[in-house]
């Protein structure tokens, strides 16, 4: 699904986006995911850059996904850098 959003010109409304963010958050937390694949982080960040939504839920999910990224090299992805800048995040 993230791949579809990251390469789509179709915009979704902010309410739907926030519901999607909650679903991602809950999936990661409920499944007690210790790590996520780097490609998931890349697709997620490309989607955020494409949609330009900077809601509090987006910030929370971004932090969560970065902290769970299995392949730390993926954090050096240009899309991740763009999202970090967009959301005013720093690596802590």
For 7-20, the pLDDT digits (tens) are 777 778 889 889 98
Q: Are 67 and 34 in contact (CB under 8 A)?
A: no
pTM for the structure as a whole: 0.78
pLDDT digits (tens, 9 = 90+) for 32-74: 777 777 778 888 888 888 888 888 899 899 888 888 887 766 6
What is the rounded distance in angstroms from the CA atom of residue 37 to the CA atom of residue 71?
7
Q: What pLDDT, on a 0 to 100 scale, did the predictor assign at position 91?
A: 58
Q: Measuring CA to CA, which residue among 74, 71, 65, 72 is closest to residue 28? A: 65
Q: What pLDDT, on a 0 to 100 scale, did the predictor assign at position 88?
A: 80
pLDDT digits (tens, 9 = 90+) for 17-27: 899 899 989 88
Cα-Cα-Cα-Cα torsion 68, 72, 75, 76, nearest 10 degrees, comes to 180
């Amino acid at each position: 699904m993230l791949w579809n959003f990251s390469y789509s010109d179709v915009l979704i409304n902010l309410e739907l986006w926030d519901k999607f963010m909650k679903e991602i958050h809950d999936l990661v937390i409920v499944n007690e995911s210790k790590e996520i694949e780097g490609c998931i982080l890349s697709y997620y960040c490309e989607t955020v850059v494409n949609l330009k939504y900077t809601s509090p839920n987006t910030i929370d999910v971004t932090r969560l996904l970065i902290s769970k990224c299995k392949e730390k090299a993926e954090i050096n992805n240009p899309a991740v850098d763009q999202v970090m800048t967009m959301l005013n995040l720093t690596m802590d």
